[in-house]
Amino acid sequence: MNNKQQIKKRIQQKELQIKKLHLHQESSDVCNQLYNTLILEKAILKKELEDMDRNPILEAVKRILPRKEKLICDYFKG
């Protein structure tokens, strides 16, 4: 299994844990903390997956090329 597939599988596991915890969630601080931790871990895994899909060469080119700023008056031209 490649790294992307492993991350996707871990995201699915986190989602399953979140669902299970949400069903059995009580108003205790421990459950709330565990729930928040799982949400955060899932977000970190999703960010890792996004970063893997990025093309570093394309990102470098985007940083080099100047961006044309749009002014509000540009929308009314034409």
Query: Which pLDDT score, from 0 to 100, does residue 39 have?
Result: 92
Query: Which pLDDT score, from 0 to 100, does residue 52 have?
Result: 85
For residue 44, the Cα-to-chain-centroid distance in whole angstroms is 6
**pLDDT tens-digit readout, 10-60:** 999 999 998 888 776 666 778 888 888 999 999 999 999 988 888 888 888
Query: Which pLDDT score, from 0 to 100, does residue 6 have?
Result: 92
Question: Rounded distance, CA 37 to CA 46, Å?
Answer: 14
Question: Rounded distance, CA 41 to CA 10, Å?
Answer: 10
Q: 1 pLDDT exceeds 70? A: no
**pLDDT tens-digit readout, 65-77:** 877 777 777 777 7
Domain boundaries, the chain: 3-76
CB 48 within 8 A of CB 9: no
The closest of 1, 13, 2 to 45, measured between CA atoms, is 13
